[in-house]
Amino acid sequence: MRTDTKTALLVSAERAARARGFDGFSYADLAADVGIRKASIHHHFPSKAALAVALMARYHAELETACAGIDATHETGGARLTALIDLYRRALDEGRRLCLCVSFSTSRDSLPTEVVGQLQQFRQMMLGWIADVFARGQQDGTIAGVKDPELEAAATLPLLEGAHLAARAQEDASLFDAAVRMLAQRVQGATGGAEASGQA
C-alpha cells in the first residue's frame, strides 16, 4: 500500500512551502517532484487555494498529534517544554525549512481567507497547549520562574518561530539553539543547553 498521489502531493507541497513560501513553489515544481504532469494536480486540488487549505488542515492535525505524543511520553512540565523545543529544532531541518505556520503567516495576502482562519485556530491550539505545559511546570517545579502561564505561552510560540526564522536567514541551525538557550535553561535539571547544541 504505497502512498497515493494525493498524499505525495501534500508532502511535496509542504516541503516546498516550508522552504520557499507559498508563492515560492508552483504546480510545475510539484509535478516534477511527484512525477506526474501539472494538469493532473488539478484533479486532486482544483486550485492552489484548495491546496493551501488542505496543507494547513494536515499540519494542524499533525502538530496536535505531536503535542499529544509529548504529553503521553513526558510527565513533567519541564520535560514537555524540552520536548517542544526539540520538536521545533527537528522541524528546522538544519536551517532549510520553517514551520508551515511561519511560512503561511508571511505570505498571508496570497492565501484564501479560510487559511487565515485556520492559522488562527492553529495558533490558539498551540498557545493553549504551551500554557498547560507552563502551568504544569509551575506546579511541579520543573520550570523556573513561571508567574503567568498564558503570558509565557504568548512569548514562547513567537520565540520558537522567530528562532526558526533567524536560523533560516543564514541556513545555520546554531542560531536556533542560541535563541532558545535561555528558555531551555529554565528547565530544572537542565545541563545548561549542552544537549541541544552538542557543546561540552
Partner DNA sequence: GTCTATATGTGGATAGAC
Partner DNA sequence: GTCTATCCACATATAGAC
CB of 40 to a second copy, least distance (A): 25
Cell numbers standing for residue 43 = 484533479
Pick out residues in 47-86 that bind a second copy (CB under 8 A).
none
Query: Using the rule CB under 8 A, is 24 a contact of a second copy?
Result: yes
Among residues 80 and 97, whose Cβ is nearest to a second copy?
97
Spatial CA neighbour of 5 closest among 28, 48, 37, 52? 37
Query: Using the rule CB under 7 A, is 19 a contact of DNA?
Result: no
Pick out residues in 49-68 that bind DNA (CB under 7 A).
49
Question: Binding partner of residue 136 among a second copy, DNA, none, CB under 5 to 8 Å per kind?
Answer: none
| Candidate ranges 6-14, 49-57, 83-91, 108-116; the one touching a second copy (CB under 8 A) | 108-116
| Candidate ranges 14-22, 59-67, 84-92, 129-137; the one touching a second copy (CB under 8 A) | 14-22
> Hey, what amino acid is at 95?
G
| Candidate ranges 53-61, 66-74, 79-87, 105-113; the one touching a second copy (CB under 8 A) | 105-113
If you search the block for the grid coordinates 487565515, which residue do you land on?
116
Q: Reduce the secondary structure of 131-176 to three states and give it as a string.
A: HHHHHHHHHHCCECCCCCHHHHHHHHHHHHHHHHHHHHHCCCCHHH
Query: Using the rule CB under 8 A, is 154 a contact of a second copy?
Result: yes
CB of 16 to DNA, least distance (A): 10
Query: Using the rule CB under 7 A, is 140 a contact of DNA?
Result: no
What is the Cα–Cα distance from 23 to 41, expressed in whole angstroms? 17
Query: Using the rule CB under 7 A, is 44 a contact of DNA?
Result: yes
Distant-in-sequence, close-in-space partners of 34: CB < 8 Å, separation ≥ 6: 5, 8, 9, 12
Judge contact between 164 and 92, C-beta under 8 A.
yes
Query: Using the rule CB under 7 A, is 38 a contact of DNA?
Result: yes
Spatial CA neighbour of 55 closest among 13, 23, 98? 13
Q: Is 187 helix (H, G, I), strand (E, B) or coil?
A: strand
Count CB neighbours of 110 within 10 A.
14
Q: Which residues bind DNA (CB under 7 A)?
A: 5-6, 25-29, 31, 36-40, 42-44, 46-49
Which residues contact a second copy (rule: CB under 8 A)?
A: 19-21, 23-24, 98, 101-110, 116, 119-120, 123, 151-152, 154-155, 157-163, 165-166, 168-170, 175, 178-183
